[in-house]
Amino acid sequence: MKKLICGCLYILNLILMISETEAQAPVAKVIPKTEVVHGDSRVDNYFWLRDKTNAQVVAYLNAENDFAERSMKPTVSLQKKLYKEMVSRIKETDQSVPYREGDWFYYRRNQKGKQYPIYCRKFRTLEAKEQVILDLNQLAKGLKFLSVGTLNLSDDGHLLAYSLDTTGFRQYTLYVKDLRTGRLSSESIEKTGSVAWAADNKTIFYTVEDAAKRQYRLYRHELNSMGSDTLIFEETDEMFDLGVGRSRSRDYIFLGSTSKTSAEYRYILADGPKNEWKIVLPREKDHEYDVDHHGDKFYIRSNKAGRNFQLVSTPTSHPSLADWTVVIPHRPSVMLSGVDLFESFYVAVERENGLPKLRVVEFATDRSRAIEFPESAYDVGPSENPEWKSKVYRYSYESMVSPRSTYDYQLETGQSTLLKRQEVPGGYNPSDYVSERLEAKAVDGVSVPISVVYKKGLTKNGKNPMLLQGYGSYGIPEDVNFSTSRLSLLDRGLVIAIAHIRGGGEMGKTWHDNGRMMKKKTTFTDFITVAEHLIEDKYTQSDRLAIMGGSAGGLLMGAVTNLRPDLFKGVVAVVPFVDVINTMLDESLPLTVSEFEEWGNPKKKEDYDYMKSYCPYSNITAQDYPCMLVKTSFNDSQVMYWEPAKYTAKLRATKTDRNELLFKINMDAGHGGASGRYDHLKESAFIYAWILKTITHP
C-alpha cells in the first residue's frame, strides 16, 4: 500500500510539474507568409525563424532552451548519474591499433580529461619515439567546436594536408603542415572538400563548395608557388558533386562527379599532375559506377547490369563498355557495396540477407574465401588498409552485444587474428545481454528485419519499456553496433530495437528504391508495422514505447507521429528533416537540388502532391501527440535549425494534448551535435534522461 501511495504521489507531482511548465512554454509569434505552388496555397506562420541574424529569433531559441532546462530540472541528478556511468565505461586514456603507411606506423590516442584525439606516428618500428602530427586539443583551444575533414599525407610522409571546421557548419579550411619542422604553410584554402596529393610531394588537388555547399570545382595547387591555383574542372550540373581521391596503388588520381543516380569519373597518372584528365565512362542516366586501379586495368563497380552492382575490368589504355570483362556478375540477392583492391588480392564488401559480408579473392588463383562471423546480427567493415603490397586485410567487427574489435585477416592462412577489442571498464560481460534478429510482415507481405537487444532475464509480458530506432533513407543501412552508452538503458530494463525499414540499404538497392521518391511512404508504414509487431510479441506496449531518429530519421519520426500518435509514448527527433516541402522548394539551400532524386522535385505537381501528403510540418493537425523531445544545432548545414524550430512552434500551437514538448538547441554545434567526446556524452545523457522519465514508471 505504501508503494502504491508513493507511486500515485509521484504521478501527481509529475502532472503538476508538466502543467506548470507547459503553461510557461515559449510561444513563437505568428507572421503569416503565403506561398502558392501548383495552385495550392500554403501559409507558413513561422517562416521568420529562418533569419539567423535576427535578435528576436535568437531570443526565441534561447527561451526554448531555458524552458527545456526548467522542464528537465527534476532529472538533473539522473543526467549526472548517466553521464558518470557513460564516462566510466570508456577507457579514457586509450590508443587505436597502429597501421603502417610507408615508413611510418600511424595511430591516434586519447588522454583522460581531453575532448579530442591526438594523431601520432612512429618511424618503422613501434618501439621508436612518438611524433605527434596533430593534436586536436591544442587546435581547439578557445573554440566551442572543432571537427576534422581530411587528413592526407604526401607520398614521402613529410607533409600533412588537413582541414578543420570550427563552427559545425561543415565548412572546412585546408592547411598543410611540414611534419619535419612542425610549421604550417603560409597558405590556407577555405571551403574545401576532398583532397589528393600528386606523386611529386608538392602538388595538391582539392575541391571547393559553391553557395549551396555543393563541391563543384577542382583546383590544382602547387606549394609555395606565387601564382593562383589552376581550375581543372567545374561541374555545372547542380545534381552532381565532385570528389577527388588517389588509388591504393598510388598510380592514379580519380575525380568523381556523382549524383544520387549517375556517375562520371576522370583520371590522370599521379606522377603527371599537369596531364590532361581523361574520362573513364561518360555519364549516363541511371548508371552509377565507381572505379579503382590494378595493374593494366581499371576495376569498375557498376549497376548497368542490375541494381545490386557487378564488378568489371577494362584496360587502362582504352576504358570502354566494349572492353568490359565481368569479374563478379550481378546477383539479385547480393548487393556489391564496395571493392578493396590490393596487389595480390581484392576484397568484395557485400550485403546478403540484410547483413554485411567480406569475401577475399586472390588474383593469381581466383580462389575466393568468405570471412565467417559468429552472430546472427552484426556489423563488419574495412578498417585502415593503406598498403598496396599488404598480405593482410584489416577489418572491424561488432554487434549489439559484442564490443568493437579490430582483426587482421591473413591471406596465406585464411585466418583472422584479433588485434584489439574495445575495453569496457567495469567488467562488461556480453553473456549478460541477448541479441535477436526478428522479422515483421509489412502491409504488402514483405518481411522487414528487426534487430533487438535486452538484458538477459527479460520477461516478455508487454510491460517492458522500449526504445525503437530507425532511419530508412538514401540507401544507407541502419547497421547494428555496440554502444557503451546504451548499457545505461539496457541495465535499467529497456529493450532496444532497430527497424531495418525500406528506404535504407540493408537489403540492397531495391530496398532503397522501394522507400524513396513516390514510394517514400513505405518507409513510414514499415516502421509502424515493426512497432505493432513488437507490441504484439509482448516486448512492450504503447505507453512504454519511445522512438528515436535523426536527420532523415527525424523525418521518419515526424511522419509516423502524425500517422499514429497513439502508438508511441515518447518521440525523440534529432536534427529532424521535417519541413520537406519548403526546403525542397528552396534551391539555394545545401543538398536541395541533388536530393531531387531521393525525395522528388516539388516543382513537378505530382511530386509536390506526394511530398506534401507526408511532410511532417505540413501535416501537423489538431490531435493528441505523444511526449516529444526535438533536438537540433544552430550551425547545422544539412538540416537547418529553423526546420525543427518551426516544427516545434507549430506543433505547440496546434496539438490538443498537454503532453510534454521540449525543444533543445546547441548554439555552438552542427549536424552531429557537440564535437568533444565528453560534451557529446552530456548530450546523450540529456536524451536518455528524457526517455527514462517518459517511458519508465515508478
Q: How many CB atoms lie within 10 A of CB 329?
A: 12
Q: How far apart are CA 142 and CA 162, in angstroms?
A: 20
Burial annotation 255-289 (CB, 10 A radius, 16+ → b, else e): bbbbbbebbbbbbbebeebeeeeeebbebeeebbb
Which of 147, 399, 416, 551 does the annotation list as catalytic? Answer: 551
Which cell numbers in the block locate residue 588? Answer: 539555394
Annotated catalytic, 551?
yes
Q: How far apart are CA 464 and CA 458, in angstroms?
A: 8
Which of 473, 671, 675, 684 does the annotation list as catalytic? Answer: 671
Q: Which of 540, 541, 619 is nearest to 580 (CA)?
A: 619
Q: How far apart are CA 291 and CA 339, in angstroms?
A: 9
The secondary element (H helix, E strand) that includes residue 217 is strand 215-222
What SS3 class is residue 55? helix
Annotated catalytic, 624?
no
Q: Where are the beta strands (DSSP E) in 465-574?
A: 466-470, 495-499, 545-550, 570-574
Instruction: Look at phi and psi of residue 201 and say left if phi exceeds 0, alpha if psi is from -120 to 50, else beta.
Output: left
Burial degree of 8 (CB within 10 A; 0-12, 13-18, 19+)? exposed
Q: Which of 530, 365, 302 is nearest to 437 (CA)?
A: 530
| Angle (nearest 5°) at CA 27 between 22 and 32 | 145
CA separation (Å) from 574 to 548, 673, 697? 8, 9, 24
Which of 165, 488, 636, 684 does the annotation list as catalytic? Answer: 636
Residue 119 CB partners (closer than 8 Å, separation 6+): 106, 107, 108, 132, 133, 134, 135, 136, 151
Q: How far apart are CA 687 and CA 475, in angstroms?
A: 27
Residue 307: half-sphere exposure toward Cβ, Cα within 13 Å: 12
Annotated catalytic, 636?
yes
Q: How far apart are CA 117 and CA 95, in angstroms?
A: 9
Q: Which residues are catalytic?
A: 551, 636, 671
